[in-house]
Amino acid sequence: MVVAPPNPVRSEKPEPIELPVIDLSADRSEVSKLIVKACEQYGFFKAVHHGVPDDVIAAMEEEGLGFFTKPVCEKQRAGPAGPFGYGIKSIGFNGDSGEVEYLLLHTNPSSICQLSHTISDDPKKFSSAVSGYIEAVKRLACEILDLMAEGLGVHEPSLLSNMIRDVDSDSMFRLNRYPPSSFHTPAPPHRATTTTEIGFGEHTDPQMLTILRSNDVGGLQICVAGGTWVPVTPDPTAFCINVGDVLQAMTNGRFMSVRHRALTNGFKYRMSMAYFGAPPPHAWLSVPPELVTPHRPLLYRPFNWAEYKKASYSLRLGDSRLQLFLK
């Protein structure tokens, strides 16, 4: 991927992409077909009637906002992110940066509990809100992975979801806050332009899948055919689901792990909450035999998550990783 440039991004406001909106409470066989179609065509979809309670979401949003509105000196008690904890502008270990501040947490309850003492004045409340939210979106992720497996015709429907149910799952949770653009200037009356900055640079998610929620402020963009960047309309009533690199590999390339990025908004703060479902470090990641055919031969060699994660951490944010694991 391309490293986030320091300069503002000026565009003529391309038309937002209308991602598939899938009602998870509908007929199961139809839902599984719609999910497979969305993941093959877009790599993204929006999920409604998802079963995550409103009070669980509200509690997590309250804790996230409470942290980000603290003075910088207090937030820095939880940093620097290495990789877990508080970070600002610096992303990863290889020089990438963006207009973002974030909290990155491992989903292990003991890790959350330990770090919460540096994050919150009421660590018990913070830890409870985070753990409750993670458990709810983890259930959602498992349900979606089961629906994916069914729609793909995988013989063992829980093959994918068992990897993030595992007690040693390496799943992570990230809170991001993007500031209003410091470069924003009012556009001339005859031009509908917006000047923004790169909040989080172009990348794919290395894990299996991502469950993303944001407030009603736009900023997420995905890269479509031809390399065009298009904005995703924000919807605070839905979760945005996207395929990660591991899932692209395990579906033998049928699902797409799509490049995406986050831009700052001209006037408002944007806060997002992302759950990254990942396998245990030493889980063997191989394509189910049902997804290998004479017309679709094996694309990727088997590997484990520890191996893939190491490769990811050694590269820049915008670098391609899956090509290193082609058969």
Distance CA 109, CA 271 (A): 23
So what's the pLDDT on residue 110? 93
Are the CB atoms for 210 and 276 separated by under 8 Å?
yes
So what's the pLDDT on residue 185? 41
Based on the number of CB atoms within 10 Å of its own CB, is 220 exposed (0-12), middle (13-18) or buried (19 or more)?
Answer: buried
Q: Which two tokens stand for residue 44?
A: 């993204």
Note whether residue 171 is domain-resident: yes
Sign of CA dihedral 225, 317, 107, 221: negative
Nearest to 263 by CA among 91, 42, 98, 61: 98
So what's the pLDDT on residue 9? 54
Note whether residue 7 is domain-resident: no
CATH number, domain containing residue 86:
2.60.120.330
Note whether residue 111 is domain-resident: yes
Looking at the structure of the chain, the number of domains it has is 1
Q: Give the other-Cβ count within 10 Å of 8's Cβ.
A: 19
Are the CB atoms for 78 and 115 separated by under 8 Å?
yes
The residues assigned a catalytic role are 270
Note whether residue 71 is domain-resident: yes
So what's the pLDDT on residue 184? 41
Residues of the domain holding 290: 21-183+194-325
Note whether residue 9 is domain-resident: no
Per-residue pLDDT of the chain (327 residues; tens, 9 = 90+): 333 343 455 445 677 888 999 999 999 999 999 999 999 999 999 999 999 999 999 999 999 999 999 999 999 999 998 899 999 999 988 889 999 999 999 999 999 999 999 999 999 999 999 999 999 999 999 999 999 999 999 999 999 999 999 999 999 999 999 998 754 444 444 444 456 799 999 999 999 999 999 999 999 999 998 889 999 999 989 999 999 999 999 999 999 999 999 999 878 999 999 999 999 999 999 999 999 999 999 999 999 999 999 999 999 999 999 999 999
So what's the pLDDT on residue 267? 84
Note whether residue 204 is domain-resident: yes
Determine which helix (DSSP H) or strand (DSSP E) holds 263, and give its type and residue range. Answer: strand 260-263
Tokens 């018990």 identify what position?
Answer: 124
The radius of gyration of the chain from alpha carbons, rounded to an integer in Å, stands at: 19
Note whether residue 60 is domain-resident: yes
Note whether residue 130 is domain-resident: yes
Q: Which two tokens stand for residue 112?
A: 């959350």
